[in-house]
A and B are shown apart, each in its own frame.
Chain A
Amino acid sequence: MIRVVRHVIGWIEHRTGLETAIRSFLYEEVPASSGWQHVFGSVAMFLFMLQAFTGILLAFNYAPTPGEAYNSLRYIMTEVTGGRLIRQLHHWGASMMIVVVVLHMIQVFLFGAYKKPREATWMAGVALLLLTLAYGLTGYLLPWDNRAYWGTVVTTQIASKAPVLGPYLSRLLGGEGAIGVVTFARFYGMHVLLLPPITTLMIIAHLFLVRKHGIAPAPGDEAKPVKKFYPEQVYKDTVAIFVAFAILFVMAVAVHVPLERLADPTDTSYVPRPDWYFLFLFQTLKFFEGPLEVVGSIVLPTLAMLALILVPFLDRGRVRRVTERYAAFGVVFLALLGWGGLTGAAIMTTPKTAAVEIDFSAPTEWLQLSPEEMAGVGYFRKENCVSCHSVGDGGAKIGPDLANTAIRKSAAWMIAHFKRPATLVPGSMMPPIQLSDSQLNALAAFLLKLTPQNASALQAAPAFAVDGALIYQANRCGACHLVNSVGMKVGPPLNGIFRHRDKAWIARHFRDPQAVTPGTIMPRYAFSESDMDKICSYLLSLPD
């Protein structure tokens, strides 16, 4: 058996030289000082391959046109088995890649490894950083939710303001006029067709140069014996890759990436924000107004990038021992401080979401419930009905399954039963429910809606909506307003109010309707701060 294997390997070696190539790759000599600080490049490359892998998997279930993109991503996240995990691996992998690429760069910078003859290696590395950022920028649009849409509006606007090139860039990005199918196709094309081969070529060039010049040795390495890439460095790289992967995997499982409302160009209340790694640029922009804006949006970033590319020529010093490179540490420290400060400021100044965030990658059936049914969810939770009843989940509990439509009774029966359980069901162990008639009505209305199919989805209604509906019911808003086709039409129907009103407006209107809408017959409502927040959030969540 072993002879056969040897024979096959020998055959391949003779024809391709593969074995020699692998050996010379693995047994490459590395300087004595190489070690844990050199793992970041390998981790970055691993993450790139992981992004390609998860990206391809996503593409198998993704339709790259606006609208379809949103629905197919929603399908991936809610219906495809394991889809959410793959998407979150891709999402958090992108963030992690930025972190690792920057760490790699900081290490090379601190160790002065860009010095002669490794200038070209450094420049290829900067190109790879820019490519990584380009993935982030183009990938941001692809979910086609509000966040993606409005974030990209800002990006294309900035590009269009570039001196001289602006109009051309804008046309190239398909962002002339408004963002639409053309922009989407361009961004998708760049993200999956243009950037990957360029990145691959660049990585090959980068690796070739790293191998050509070898890892930069530290002063004093000459005296020590060289090491082999395998197994010492491969072991360290593998451990680092494993740790990075483990962190990423845990994030992908545990940290939920929401999907917002479908991209809505008419939504004026939306506050666009770029992804976290671009926040510092976003914040820088605020310091420049009017004609100077272009300085913050184009000139400064371009200069910074040029400076980064030219680092090997700007730093002609001979100091190479990392412990003596005070200036380099100073630069990194200042850069991190500046970046951190700007990012922090951007986060602090982000207004607490004006609009209500609904996660459309979670069940949204609750959006269709009437306020009364939604309030019923509240009483259902308050009375803790699930401690004795299963709800379509098949658990064997004392009481009957409430989602079982075969044993469904009328609302009147239920209410009578809630009040005196043992009268209608002799021997029932259920305690009477101490709620008013209208509250019992709401509870019965919700129970009538339950089916085995929608039970878990309806119970997923977020607390703000349930609390908001309880306030809505308690104040009898339905006596004048219509929500999800239930209520009266004395006042305006409230569905889709998020399109033209924000939270502040609605709150003002509650406190003093006359001041906001002169002539209205709506009475004042003096809700507490937290109640006001809940009812406003609920109203803003009502679908069109």
Chain B
Amino acid sequence: MIYGLWGLIGAALALPASIYLLFPPRLRKREEWTEAADMGKLTAKTPTEVVFRQNRVDGWKITSERTTAWAIKISDTEVIALAPQCTHLGCAYHWDDGKRQFLCPCHTSTFSPDGKVLSGPAPRPLDRYEVKVENGKLLLGKVVESENAA
């Protein structure tokens, strides 16, 4: 009886507490599309680093922050935008124009222009933003994690 009652109290506290700590909060903002660049300013087949401001929901705050993306124009209506962090440990990588590949300075992972892993410890291709092209503008949505298909 004593143990049973304490068990009930413990459960009635542990359950809400774990839900409180482990469940994701309800989202109050739906995802937005942010205008990142003019399609005309992107060069075909060569990645361009675009800098834009994006609203990020951060707990009880919504902050507008500077974000970058590597945009590669495939055609006038088709673009890929890569999230600027290496999929290994999150370092910022850069574009090596001579070798025509992305190079991460931390552990020398290299990626092809469309984000595939060429060498190094990166476990999967670079993550991509959701993209949309409207009226000649490149719109970016949220970052979607790439498949584990390295």
Q: List residues of A whose CB falls within 8 A of some B CB.
A: 50, 53, 57, 60-61, 63, 68, 71-72, 74-75, 78-83, 85-86, 89, 231, 234-235, 238-239, 241-242, 245, 249, 453
Contacts and interface: CB of A to CB of B under 8 A. Distances in A.
Contact of A74 (B2, B24, B26, B60): B60
Nearest to A236: B2
Nearest to A50: B13
Given A71-B61, A86-B17, A86-B20, A79 B12 contact: no
B30 interface: yes
Interface residues of B, number: 23
B21 interface: yes
Interface stretch (B3-11, B44-52, B88-96): B3-11
Given A71-B61, A245-B12, A81 B2 contact: no
Contacts of A249: 12
B59 A81 contact: no
A242 B20 contact: no
Contacts of A245: 9, 12
Nearest to A234: B2
Contacts of A81: 19-20, 23-26
A235 B2 contact: yes
A238 B6 contact: yes
Interface of B: 1-2, 5-6, 8-9, 12-13, 16-17, 19-21, 23-28, 30, 59-61
B17 A57 contact: yes
Contact of B25 (A57, A71, A80, A234): A80
Contacts of B20: 57, 80-83, 85-86
A53 B21 CA distance: 13
A71 B60 CA distance: 6
Nearest to B20: A82
Contact of A75 (B2, B16, B21, B59): B59
5 A-B pairs with the lowest CB-CB distances in the bound complex, closest first? A75-B60, A81-B23, A82-B20, A79-B25, A82-B19
Among A57, A61, A68, A242, the one with the most B-chain Cβ atoms within 10 Å of its Cβ is A242
A241 B12 CA distance: 13
Given A57-B17, A231-B2, 11 more contacts: A53-B17, A61-B59, A75-B59, A78-B26, A81-B20, A81-B23, A83-B20, A238-B2, A238-B5, A245-B12, A249-B12
B25 A75 contact: yes
